Amino acid sequence: MTGTLTRKGAATRQRIIEGAAAEIRERGIAVTTLDDVRARTGTSKSQLFHYFPEGKEELLLAVAQFEADRVLTDQQPFLGDLTSWPAWYAWRDAVVARYLEQGQHCPLNVLVSQLGRSTPGAQAVVRALMQQWESEINRGLRHMRDAGEVDPDLDTDRTASALLAGIQGGVLMMLSTGRITHLEAALDLTIENLRKGGRTSR
């Protein structure tokens, strides 16, 4: 949607997005219709198309962005404050808890698949999520390096990329097998190896 929304308009649009997200989480994307979303959010057809003039695809893209934002929100405040080993372990636990609670149904993955992974909108949502996630990890690594808690020669860019890749691989294994152990291993081994390069041990 183009143009600037009033505060009330922005709140209404957000209510529609959150209602659609809840509907998709509960019932699945295949059976969720715009009528379902309207009924859940108490909005009229004209109101829904006022905020999402391109219809269901535009709404689904907004829901995908909402779910992407939740991925990072669920890791806070720890992801934004990776300045000590207790904070790293708390973040590790938050990541594992998030995906345990989510289970094998990943709303963001389903939405991106529905929209088409090669479409610009879907790619932009995923790209922005991964860039911000990696940036937060990298910032934490730089802090730990400057504090002497990890190898002083640590390449934080590559390490952040590798850790995020490990997390994503662990999540994919969980979605495929229902087991969280691969995600736990990716996090635990990385943190353990980082600590071995620093001046302190756990």
Predicted confidence (pLDDT) per residue in 16-36, tens digit: 999 999 999 998 888 899 999
**CB hemisphere CA count around 125 (13 angstroms):** 25
CA of 146: how far to CAs of 9, 25, 82, 157, in Å?
45, 42, 13, 14
The CB-side HSE value for 80 (13 A sphere, CA atoms) comes to 6
> Could you tell me the pTM of the whole model?
0.88
Identify the pLDDT of residue 1.
55
Structure tokens at 74: 């669920």
Which residue in this structure is represented by tokens 């087991």?
179
Query: Is the distance from CB of 193 to CB of 163 less than 8 angstroms?
Result: no
Please tell me the predicted confidence (pLDDT) of residue 3.
62
In angstroms, rounded to a whole number, what is the distance separating the alpha carbons of residues 180 and 162?
19
The pLDDT value recorded for residue 105 is 84
Structure tokens at 37: 């979303």
Amino acid 152 reads: P
Instruction: Go through 87-115 and write b for each residue having 16 or more CB atoms within 10 A of its CB, e for each that does not.
Output: bbebbbeebbebbeebeeebbbbbbbebb
In the predicted model, residues of the chain with pLDDT beneath 50 are 2, 201-202
- Whether the bond into 77 is cis, omega within 30 of 0: yes
The token pair that represents 28 in the structure block: 């699945």
- Rounded Cα gap, residues 52 and 59, in angstroms: 6
Q: What is the predicted pLDDT for the residue at 5?
A: 81
Distance set, CA 114 to CA 29, 110, 122, 148, 172 (Å): 8, 6, 9, 46, 18
